[in-house]
Structure 1
Amino acid sequence: MASQADIRPCNPDQTDEAALAEYHKLAVASAKIDRPHEPATSYEAVIGRLRRPSTDADAVRHWFAYQAGKVVGHMMVNLPMLETHDVASVEITVHPDSRRQGIGIDFLRTLFPVLRAEGRTTVEGWWITGGGVGERWAVARGFRLTHATVSQRLALQDADPAAWAVEPPAGYRVVRWIGQAPDDLIISYADARGAIHDAPLGQAAYESPEWTPERVRVAERALRDRGVEQRVVVAVHEASGAVAGTTEVELLPHTKGVVHQRDTSVLPAHRGHGIGAYIKAHMINWLMADYPDLTRIQTTTGAENVHMIRVNRALGFVIARSWVVATGELAALEAQLPS
C-alpha cells in the first residue's frame, strides 16, 4: 500500500521549530509503544539526541516523513568510514498513528540508492526492542536477527551505596581523568580500550574500533566538540605502569541527571582480579561526589556477556529491557521490497 508520505532529507540544525516540535511528539508517542517502561523524555533530550547523536560514525544523515505537512516519521543513517566502511547503521521511527501505511518501506526505498552510491553493501539496525513491532517489521522486510543486548539501569537515588564499596585489587592503582588521557598513559590506555574486541557481538556486522593513541585523541576532541563530558577511570598495573583496565562514562548536555556508561574493558592478562567491578564502583562514587543529584546510570551489554551483566547487577543495576540487532545485505533487502 502506498504510504502517501513525503520523504525529505533534513538537517536537524537547520530544521524549523514547528517540525522539531512535531518530531518530539513523534518520538514520545513511539516510545510509549516501543519502550513503555522507560521514563518520559524531555523536548531537550529528544532534540539534543537528534542533533548530536551518540555515534562514532563519520557521517550521519537524516530524513523526515511528512503527511499533511506534519512530521510522522524519521530515519537516521550512520556511515562509519573505518572498520565497517561497507556497513550502514539505520534507525527508523514512525508515529504509531501512521504505522502500517508503508512509510517504513518508503524510507527503505529512499535509502537503498543512497547506500549503493556510498558503496555500502550491508544494512544494520540496532536498538530494536526485542519481541516488539520493530523486530517483527524488520524480519518481514528480510532482515535477520544477529545479536541481542540488554539495557541495564542503576537508579542512583534508590541504590545502596554499600554496593559501591569495592576493595581495590592488589597490585593496581586507580587513575582518573575528565576529557583527555594523560600523555604518559595514552599508549597503554589505547591498548586497554582495544580489549573491548573480546566482548561478544554475535553475528552483527558492526566492528569495535581499533584504538590507537591518535584515534583516542580524535574521539576525545569529537566529544568536546559535542559538549560531552567524558570521565575515565583506569586501573594501572603497579609493576609495569601500564593500564590494565578502563571504564568510561559520558554526561551529555541534553540529558541532565542521566549518565551513559560506555565501554568497560580489561586486558586478558589482568582478568580475574575484580578490576572491572572496582573501576566501575570507583566511577559511581566519583560521579555521586561531584553530582549528588544524578538520577540514573544506563548502559547496554551483550546478552551473552554474562560476566559483565553479573558485575553490573552486583553494583545495583537492573535489566530494563532487551534489544536485538537486525542485519541484511543491501541487494537481498532491495529485491524483497514490494513493487
Structure 2
Amino acid sequence: MTRGLVIERFDPRRATEADLAGYHDVVAASEATDRPGEPGLPFEELAGRLTRPLPGLGPAAHWVGYREHEFVAVAEARFLEDENSGIGLTEISVHPGHRCVGIGTAMLRAVVPELRARSREVVEGWQVVAGSAGQRWAEAWGFRPVRTIARQALVVAEADRSAWDVAVPAGYRPRRWSGAAPDDVVASYARARGAIHDAPLGQSGYRWPEWTVDRVRAAEAGFREQGIEQQVVVAIHEASGDVAGFTEVCVHPRRPDWAYQRDTAVLAAHRGHGLGRCVKAHMARWLVAERPALQRISTTTGAENTHMIRVNHAVGYTTQRSMIAVQEDLAALEARLAEKTWTGRRSP
C-alpha cells in the first residue's frame, strides 16, 4: 500500500545534508540487497554526483518518495543528448524495507510526465540486476530486456601483477597521457575512438557517440570541470604514427581509491595483434604504480562482447554479476499505466 506516501521533485543543489543522507540511505540499502558483496557508493561520491552530475549523460531530474519524513524511494531520469536524445534513462530505487507495496510504480508514474515533457520516445534502465525482483517488476510493466551487461572489477590486492607483463606487439609502441590528448595525435585518437561502434549494444536504443576532435576536446573539458582525472593509454602504429587502439580510465576526486574503466577499442585494421590486452595491462600497471591508494578498477562490458570479457579476465578482472538493460516505448508505458495493466503479482 502507498498510503501516506508523498512524492516530490528533489533538487540536490538546494537539499540539506540530512536530505542527501536520506537519499543515500535508500541507495545504499538497495545496493546492499541487490548487489551483495560489492562495495557500496560512499555518501560523498553520491552527493557529488547528485549536485554535479557526471558528464556525458545529459541533464538530470530527481524525485524522492517519503513517509513521515523518512525517505523510502528515490528516482532519477537522465536526458541523453545528441545521438540519444530520444532516450529517457531512468533508475528507481525503493528501500528494501518498503518494497512490494506499489511504491516503485508510484515513483514511475511521477517520472513519466517529465519524460514526455522532454520529448523522450523510449524509457531505458541500465542498472537492473539480472534475476532480481527489479527485473521482474520492470518486465511486468512491459519493459523488455534489450541487453545483458557483465559487471567486472580488478581488485588490486587480489590481482596477479605478472598478468600485466604484456609485450608490446611488433610495429607498435605505447603512449599515455592524463587529461587532454596531445595535439599531434588527437585527430587519430578521435578516429580510434570511433572503433567502439563495433562493440555490440544488443537491442538497446543507445548509440555510440560520433567522435570528432571537437567532441574529444569537449569531453575532456567536461572531466576537467569536475576534477575527474582522465587517464589514457594508446597503441601507436609505428609506420603511420596514428593511434591504433586505446583504453580510457577515469578517477573521481571524491573516490581516489576507485577507478572507472571506460571505453577500450582497437581499429579493425589493427586487430588480431593483442593490442587491447596490451593497452589494458599497461594501464593497470601505470595506475597502480602512481596511485598506491588505488583498490579497485570497475567496468561494465556487454555480455555479447566475449572478446573484451576475455581480455579483461586476462589482465585480472573478475565478473561480479550480470546486469540487464531494459526498454519500453514511452507511449506504450503511458497507456499501460493509465489502464493499470500490471501483469505481475506485486509491485515494488
Query: TM bucket by the smaller chain?
Result: over 0.9
Aligned to 2:182: 182
The CA distance in 2 between the partners of 1:313 and 1:209, in whole Å, is 26
1:111 paired with 2:111, answer: yes
* Separation in 2, partners of 1:24, 1:117: 27
C-alpha change, 1:159 and 1:229, in structure 2 (3 Å) is: same
**Cα distance per residue 1:169-218 (max 9 Å; x no partner):** 11111111111011111111111111111111100011111111101111
After superposition, where does 1:323-334 map in structure 2 within 5 Å? 323-334=323-334
CA distance in 1, matches of 2:98, 2:52: 26
**In the alignment, is residue 229 of structure 1 matched against residue 229 of structure 2?**
yes
CA distance in 1, matches of 2:297, 2:75: 27
In the alignment, is residue 195 of structure 1 matched against residue 215 of structure 2? no
TM-score (norm. length: structure 2) = 0.94
Q: Give 1:233's aligned amino acid.
A: V
The reply on whether 1:219 has 2:219 as its aligned counterpart is yes
Instruction: Give the letter for the 1:223 counterpart.
Output: F
My pick for the range that moved more, 36-45 or 10-19, is: 36-45
Aligned pairs (5 A) from 1:1-339: 1-2=1-2, 4-337=4-337, 339=340
| Mean Cα deviation higher: 118-127 or 48-57 | 48-57
Question: What is the CA-CA distance between 1:3 and the residue it aligns to?
Answer: 5.1
The one-letter code sitting in structure 2 at the alignment partner of 1:24 is H
Distance across 1 between alignment mates of 2:103 and 2:55: 25
Aligned residues of 2:156 and 2:296 also touching (Cα < 8 A)? yes
Deviations 1:30-87 (A, max 9, x none): 1111111212443223323333444512211111112111221111111112001111
Q: Give the conservation status (yes or no) of the 8 Å contact 1:19–1:70.
A: no
Alignment coverage as a number of residue pairs: 339
Q: Percent same amino acid at aligned positions? A: 50
Structure 1, gaps ≥5 residues long: none
Cα drift, residue 318 of structure 1: 0.6
Answer yes or no: is the 8 Å Cα contact 1:235–1:244 preserved in 2. Answer: yes
What CA distance in whole angstroms lies between the structure 1 residues aligned with 2:81 and 2:21?
32
AA matched with 2:183: D
Indicate the SS of the match to 1:265.
strand
Counterpart residue identity of residue 325, structure 1: A
In the alignment, the residues of structure 1 paired with residue 196 and residue 241 of structure 2 have an alpha-carbon distance, to the nearest angstrom, of 20
Task: Judge conservation of contact 1:3–1:106 (CA < 8 Å) in 2.
Answer: no
Distance 1:300 1:33 in 2: 20
The answer (yes or no) to whether the contact 1:147–1:201 under 8 Å persists in 2 is yes
8 Å CA contact retained: 1:3, 1:103: no
**How far apart, CA to CA, are the structure 1 residues paired with 2:296 and 2:23?**
25
Contact 1:235–1:245, Cα closer than 8 Å, also in 2: yes
| Structure 2 stretches lacking a partner, 5+ long | 341-348
Tell me which moved more, 153-162 or 99-108: 99-108
Q: Do the aligned partners of 1:3 and 1:102 also contact (CA within 8 Å) in 2? A: no
- TM (normalized to structure 1)? 0.97
Query: Contact conserved, 1:77 with 1:91, CA < 8 A, in 2?
Result: yes
Q: Which moved more, 1:123-132 or 1:50-59?
A: 50-59
Residue 129 of structure 1 deviates from its aligned partner by 0.6
The alpha-carbon deviation at position 127 of structure 1 amounts to: 1.4
CA offsets, 1:243-299, max 9 Å, x none?
110100000122231110000000000000010000111111111111122111111
